[in-house]
Structure 1
């Protein structure tokens, strides 16, 4: 069952949600450092991570799945959020430069269709940043946070999904090395745990973050040519009905006599 948007919004108001937003947001800002004059789209529940891009980007949109629900964003001014079907987004082809996918890929029932739709709306050379729960992390094993719902991914699964949907993975990052507990002691030591885990690439991170670019070509599948059948000589056939010559007038008289 998809998460409700109210539960997602409530999580990010907690101290644990604020810490998760800070650590994941650092990676997102590093990967999408220069977005001046570009169009950015957040798919899923990406509004906690989109605010820093509003100043320099051409436009920033937030699309939320119909099963999840939608909230107004930003809180002031014109709304930039919309309730959509993730596999049929109301956008023309090749109109978005950057896509941030978070709280979406692990919750959708049709991940390939979602990635195909993102491929359609991305500009040539456009980039996608997908954040998914890690299969080996503790966050995916506890349902007390939004990262404990849906289908977690390993790096190999994400790589296969990207390649089959015509994306080329370029960078891999992990985040959320801290355990998903609301304890003050854990939250106080979370920055140190995050620095140590990221510097040493320790196993057990909470989320996988992959950056990929849109492929502009489709792979050609080589197929072995089928050998042509050599026609064989048919055995001699005898006609069933043999045509006879038409009788002339002399022949008819001879028969009568």
Structure 2
């Protein structure tokens, strides 16, 4: 089920949303430390995180699905966000170098079709980074945050989905070990939760942060079967016209 863009904006304006954005940004920066000279696309509701790349990359745009709605981004500059249909992204093949998916896979009605369209517009050497709710995490069990809406995934489910859509997972990390509670002391201790959770590899993180590469498979032509030419021969028991007219030849058997 897709959330409305207004509800997503309100969550990231709250204290809990600010903490969630800060912690997820750390996970994104571990995977993509530098995007200088790259063409970066965000899909879903990626605008709280695209600020990491906007000033250093070649270009940075945000696509938001039609079922969700769109907001102007950035607010004080020329608009870099637009409303799109997720199965027909308005870009040519191999148009971008990096794609960030946030609130996308879990909200999509057809995540396989979405990823195949993402594969189409991603350059052969490009990278995909997906932030996906963890099925075993506490954040996926409450409706108070966007991570509790849609379909959460386990690590094996994300891996299978990516491989079915021609991507290869290359690195994993987790974020949001802190419980999703609006309490000041808990929000202040969020960095400590992240350090402890990351160091002990606890399986209760709120989101997976998975990086994948695009598989480019070279087509292998099938071997053509050699065709053998067999001459067309007349049956031996059928006399030719010359044999039928020659009285010295034996008569045709009956």
TM-score tier by shorter-chain length is 0.7 to 0.9
* Segments of 4+ moved more than 3 angstroms: none
How large is the Cα RMSD of the aligned pairs? Answer: 1.4
**Larger C-alpha radius of gyration, 1 or 2?**
1
Q: Match of 1:171? A: 171
Structure-to-structure mapping, 1:79-228, within 5 angstroms: 79-217=79-217
Structure-to-structure mapping, 1:236-251, within 5 angstroms: none
Offset of 1:199 from its aligned partner? Answer: 1.4
Offset of 1:218 from its aligned partner? Answer: 6.5
SS in structure 1 of the partner of residue 52 of structure 2: helix
SS in structure 2 of the partner of residue 53 of structure 1: coil
Residues in 2 aligned to 1:219 and 1:211: alpha-carbon distance in whole angstroms = 25
SS in structure 1 of the partner of residue 189 of structure 2: helix
Residues in 2 aligned to 1:113 and 1:128: alpha-carbon distance in whole angstroms = 15
Which sections of structure 2, spanning at least 5 residues, go unmatched? 221-254
Residues in 2 aligned to 1:33 and 1:183: alpha-carbon distance in whole angstroms = 31
Q: Match of 2:44? A: 44
Offset of 1:219 from its aligned partner? Answer: 8.7
- CA offsets 1:48-72 (integer angstroms, 9 cap, x no match): 0001211110000000010100000
SS in structure 2 of the partner of residue 150 of structure 1: coil
Q: Match of 2:78? A: 78
Equivalences, count = 221
Q: Match of 2:236? A: none
Contact 1:135 1:152 in 2 (8 A): yes
Residues in 1 aligned to 2:70 and 2:29: alpha-carbon distance in whole angstroms = 24
Alignment pair present for 1:12 and 2:7: no
SS in structure 2 of the partner of residue 8 of structure 1: helix
SS in structure 1 of the partner of residue 127 of structure 2: strand
